[in-house]
Amino acid sequence: MKGYVYILECSDGTYYTGSTVDLDKRIEQHQDGRGANHTRKRLPVKLVYVEEYLNIASAFEREKQIQGWSRSKKEALINGNLENLPSLAECQNETHYRLFKESKN
């Protein structure tokens, strides 16, 4: 049975990432307020991204990966800017930047 990973944009601009075996039914559940707590409080939602997998286990694994991503990395995926994903995976905080710069000297 196929599985799907999807990203919804909520009414407040936040993103929700989920996985399912029946995409149409799951989106309907979210829109009707029967989805996750996050989306229930932020209706309406809009489907902005989908990936299809051979099985739900693979889709669920990918869901967990995407959930750990920053907003900017999710937006790169949604917008098809796949070449930006590696750089967005790097730590962007000031301490990391300083240590990286020092290691180059």
Statement to judge: residues 15 and 37 lie in one domain: yes
Q: For residue range 52-86, what is the model confidence (pLDDT) as tens digits?
A: 999 999 999 999 999 999 999 999 999 998 888 88
Range of the domain at 14: 1-68
Measured CA to CA, the distance from residue 5 to residue 66 in angstroms comes to: 9
Measured CA to CA, the distance from residue 93 to residue 22 in angstroms comes to: 39
**Could you give the C-alpha distances from 74 to 1, 68, 98, 101, 104, in angstroms and in order?**
26, 10, 25, 27, 30
Statement to judge: residues 2 and 34 lie in one domain: yes
Statement to judge: residues 50 and 74 lie in one domain: no
pTM for the model: 0.83
Mean local confidence (pLDDT), 5-14: 98
Statement to judge: residues 62 and 101 lie in one domain: no
Per-residue pLDDT, 36: 93
Statement to judge: residues 85 and 56 lie in one domain: no
Statement to judge: residues 23 and 64 lie in one domain: yes
- Report how many domains make up the chain: 2
